[in-house]
Amino acid sequence: MSLKPSMKNVVDIQGTLCLPIRIYFEKKGPSKYMSHLDLMRCMTRTIRRAGVPIWYTEGFNPHPFMTFALPLPLGTAGMCESMDVRLTTDMSFDEIKTRLNNSLCEGIVVTEVNYVGKKATEIHSAIYSIRLSATEAGGEILSKNIERYLSQNEITVQKKNKKKQLVDIDIKPHIMDFSVKSEGEFAILNIRLPAGNDLNINPAIVLKGFENANNIAFERCDIVREKMLTKSGEKFL
């Protein structure tokens, strides 16, 4: 069924009626080893396979219009990922979700399809849960050490600047919240860090800082981005 101008949120884009929608998904398992570029390719093909009609850019080399809220680093899983596309034909959100889930690769699961909500620029921070283990220490010792490390008044780590050079920064002021507990051989760290276009701190640099300071190497380091929040602490939707 074609879209009508009277329908909710329908807009006219260069002469085509479109409904901007947001697709929420999880990216975990083997899919977390897909880079952001790989993910864009994967989603383009998934949408084509699934037969979900979306708007293509005009011009000499048309490509599907698709924007992602915030790229995920390679190897990090995400439970709150989202991308926006523009629907060109009326199709129910449930139908889109079912079709996509039938075509997706292992580890990517569409959890919800909805109207576009907040702008991606409103993302201000993210909450990560991180499962860590090290051969040198059990879960309990490891979690205590992490707790101590993150409770210091100043925590100097290395971060790549825009010129891709490594520079020392103090990340203590940027750690908005954290908690650590032990679970068998693992230490589980929950941490809230700045995320978004202005300042984005990858938890991996915090963990690297810990490894360097304590002279150990994690055996397992499974990072999951659990939530993205706006400045006022609301969930990004």
- What is the rounded distance in angstroms from the CA atom of residue 150 to the CA atom of residue 41? 38
Minimum CB separation from another protein for residue 50, in Å?
8
Using rule CB under 8 A, residue 45 touches another protein: yes
Report phi then psi at 159, rounded to 5.
-135, 145
For another protein, how many residues bind (rule: CB under 8 A)? 30
Question: How many separate helices (H) and strands (E) can be counted in the chain?
Answer: 4, 11
Which range touches another protein (CB under 8 A), out of 43-51, 145-153, 161-169, 191-199? 43-51
Q: Does residue 10 contact residue 18 with C-beta atoms inside 8 Å?
A: yes
**By the rule CB under 8 A, 14 interacts with another protein:** no
d(C-alpha 89, C-alpha 83), whole Å: 18
Pattern 46-75, another protein, x by CB under 8 A: xxxx------x----xx-----------xx
CA dihedral over 210, 126, 99, 59, signed as positive or negative: negative
Stretch that binds another protein, among 14-22, 38-46, 169-177, 181-189 (CB under 8 A): 38-46
- What is the distance between the alpha carbons of residues 51 and 87, in angstroms, rounded to a whole number? 11
Least Cβ distance, residue 114 to another protein (angstroms): 23
Q: Which of 112, 177, 219, 234 binds another protein (CB under 8 A)?
A: 219
Choice between 11 and 105, CB closer to another protein: 105
Binder to another protein among 148, 160, 220, 231 (CB under 8 A)? 220
| Shortest reach from residue 8's CB to another protein, in Å | 28
Cα Rg, the chain, nearest whole Å: 20
Residue span binding another protein (CB under 8 A) among the ranges 13-21, 28-36, 139-147, 181-189: 28-36
134 binds another protein (CB under 8 A): no
* Measured distance CA(170)–CA(177) in Å, rounded: 15
Q: Closest Cα to residue 25, out of 93, 89, 101?
A: 101
CB of 36 to another protein, least distance (A): 12
Place of tokens 């409770």: 151
What distance in Å separates the CA atoms of residue 49 and residue 89, rounded to the nearest whole number? 16
Interface residues with another protein (CB under 8 A) are: 29-31, 33-35, 37-38, 41-42, 44-49, 56, 61-62, 74-75, 103-107, 219-222
